[in-house]
Amino acid sequence: MSVGIDDISFYSSGMFLPLATLAEHNGEDPDKYRIGLGQERMGVPAQDEDIVTLAANAARPLINSDNRENITTVLFATESSIDQSKAAGVYVQRLLGLGSNCRIVELKQACYSATAALQMACGLVARKPESQVLVLASDIARYGFDTPGEATQGCGAIAFIVKANPRLLAVHAETGCYSEDVMDFWRPNYMDTALVDGKYSTIIYLKALRQSWKNYHEAGGLDFGDFSRFCYHLPFTKMGEKAHRKLAVTNGVSMDVELLEKQIGSGLLYNRQIGNSYSASLYIGLLSLLENDQEDLSGQNVGLFSYGSGCVGEFFSVTVQPGYKQYSRRVQHVDMLETRQELDYEGYASLFSHTCPKDGGEHYFPSEAAGHYRLAGIHDHKRIYTETGD
Ligand code: COA
């Protein structure tokens, strides 16, 4: 029996800022963002969107009358948590109409936690093969205006179902981890934006990659040459290129532009359009690979590196299942990205400076969200989620 990802979908907000607009405002060369960071657009959440609505919108296409009652666990990975106590997944359970015989929990470790969720889900399914686990990862990346990280903001959510004998990806048991107590990126409870030592974070990322790869290999994992494609955590897509070049050098493989494009190019497309989505970013990249690669990847191995500042890294691998293409939602995902509303700088600044009020008062938000679910307001300290009918 294999265990892995049976179905997968993603969602980002209905509004975006072109990074060329941000470059013009910040007095930067647009090529710094387009080429230097590898980013074109940044997803900007509406006032009535948060990690719950993004995740519920991502998961909605995956839920049907066949699996609604069979999902026994919901794991919600995020580093933009909305509550210190209640798991965001409990709201999603109600919005999606999932059965009540279900365990739900939230996981945190910067951008890494969705990988912990995936590994836990595989363990649960291996122990009870008839069960299905819904993994959600949803984040809004905020660094603040006029910070070096500003151009790498964004938002997005991924949802996938982990099952026995999956239709899309079988996850291998071998895995390699690396953890170290470092302060490259963190967000104290009293702050809405992350604190980051950006250059240091890229150095630690690459160190964690080397060490995780070594540990993966020691655990009996595949060789570099056994993989046809690689996906990396993508705080900005250029980071994936840097990581892949580093892994190639580590393995004595010479990496030219053509091989780089073949091995990671199709996995960068969605992230380039939405920006950083923290915990979701590796998996939105994986989805981008499955939906956009021109080759039939059936039977081929994909290597994945997950990184969360602070830090935890994990290298693991999957095999693409024959027939995976027939379950693609590419048309819907591309349509979602292409029908987003473009913002000017003032529109972005106004939306991004909106953070959920903390005064304990009554708040109702304008109806802006493009998806099926929205955060209508806050009443009596409780978030009120509604359906838009779209
Ligand atoms: N044309 C093409 N490339 C250009 C350019 C231009 N006109 N101007 C600059 N660049 C390149 C730089 O050479 C650099 O490339 P390199 O890293 O390959 O050398 C890249 O664009 C970024 O420029 P840099 O000056 O280093 O940017 P920065 O100091 O503004 O910050 C980060 C970059 C990533 C540190 C910053 O965006 C950040 O802190 N991000 C958040 C943290 C993060 O994402 N960490 C990643 C690990 S989780």
Question: Whose C-alpha lies nearest to ligand 1, atom 9?
Answer: 32
Rg (CA), the chain: 20
Residue 235: which residues within 8 A CB-CB, separation 6 or more? 111, 141, 152, 201, 205, 276, 281
287 lines ligand 1 (CB under 6 A): no
| One-letter identity of residue 225 | G
Burial 15-48 (b: 16+ CB within 10 A, else e): bbbbbebbbebeeeebeebbeebbbbbbbbbbbb
Predicted pLDDT at 198: 94
What is the Å distance from ligand 1's center to 35 Cα?
9
Centroid of ligand 1 to alpha carbon of 36 (angstroms): 6
Nearest CA to ligand 1 atom 37: 149
**CA 29 to ligand 1 center in whole angstroms:** 12
With residue 315 as reference, give the H or E element that holds it: strand 312-320
Residue 170: the pLDDT is 98
For residue 97, report the distance from its CA to the centre of ligand 1, in Å: 43
For a ligand 1 pocket test, name from 29, 37, 207 the mutation site with the most ligand atoms within 8 angstroms of its C-beta.
37
235 lines ligand 1 (CB under 6 A): yes
- For the Cβ of 205 lying below 6 angstroms from any atom of ligand 1, the answer is yes
281 lines ligand 1 (CB under 6 A): no
Q: Which among 2, 257, 38, 303 is positioned nearest to 152, based on CA atoms? A: 38
Give the model's pLDDT for residue 80. Answer: 95
Tens-digit pLDDT string for the chain (390 aa): 999 999 999 999 999 999 999 999 999 999 999 999 999 999 999 999 999 999 999 999 999 999 999 999 999 999 999 999 999 999 999 999 999 999 999 999 999 999 999 999 999 999 999 999 999 999 999 999 999 999 999 999 999 999 999 999 999 999 999 999 999 999 999 998 899 999 999 999 999 999 999 999 999 999 999 999 999 999 999 999 999 999 999 999 999 999 999 999 999 999 999 999 999 999 999 999 999 999 999 999 999 999 999 999 999 999 999 999 999 999 999 999 999 999 999 999 999 888 888 899 999 999 999 999 999 999 999 999 999 977
Phi, psi of 115 (to 5 degrees): -75, -40
Distance 37 CA to ligand 1 centre (A): 6
Query: Tens digits of per-residue pLDDT, 227-261?
Result: 999 999 999 999 999 999 999 999 999 999 999 99
* C-alpha span between 214 and 229 (Å, rounded): 18
Q: How many separate domains does the chain show?
A: 1
pLDDT of res. 354:
85
Q: How far apart are CA 311 and CA 189, in angstroms?
A: 18
Q: Is 284 left (phi over 0), alpha (psi -120 to 50) or beta?
A: alpha
Here the CATH number for the domain that contains residue 13 is 3.40.47.10
Ligand 1 pocket, residue 279 CB under 6 Å: no
| Count of other CB atoms within 10 angstroms of residue 294 | 8
As annotated, the active-site residues are 79, 111, 233
Question: Which atom of ligand 1 is the closest one to the Cα of 30?
Answer: 7
| Region class of 348: left (phi > 0), else alpha (psi between -120 and 50), else beta | alpha
Ligand 1 mean position to 125 CA, how many Å? 41
Q: Is the CB of 199 under 6 A from ligand 1?
A: yes
User: Encoding tokens for residue 208?
Assistant: 């964690």
| b (16+ CB within 10 A) / e for 353-364 | eeeeeeeeeebe
- DSSP assignment of 47-80: TT--HHHHHHHHHGGG--TTTTTTEEEEEEE-SS
Task: Look at residue 355 in the predicted model and tell me its pLDDT.
Answer: 84
Q: What's residue 373's pLDDT? A: 98
Among protein residues, the one with the nearest Cα to ligand 1's atom 12 is: 36
Model confidence, pTM: 0.98
Query: Is any atom of ligand 1 closer than 6 Å to the C-beta of 204?
Result: no
Give 281-339 pLDDT, tens digit per residue: 999 999 999 999 999 999 999 999 999 999 999 999 999 999 999 999 999 999 999 99
H or E segment to which residue 373 belongs: strand 373-379
Full domain range(s) for residue 270: 3-387
Question: What is the spatial distance between Cα 358 and Cα 378, in angstroms, rounded to a whole number?
Answer: 10
Q: Is 215 a pocket residue for ligand 1 (Cβ < 6 Å)?
A: no
Q: Give the tokens for residue 251.
A: 């393995």
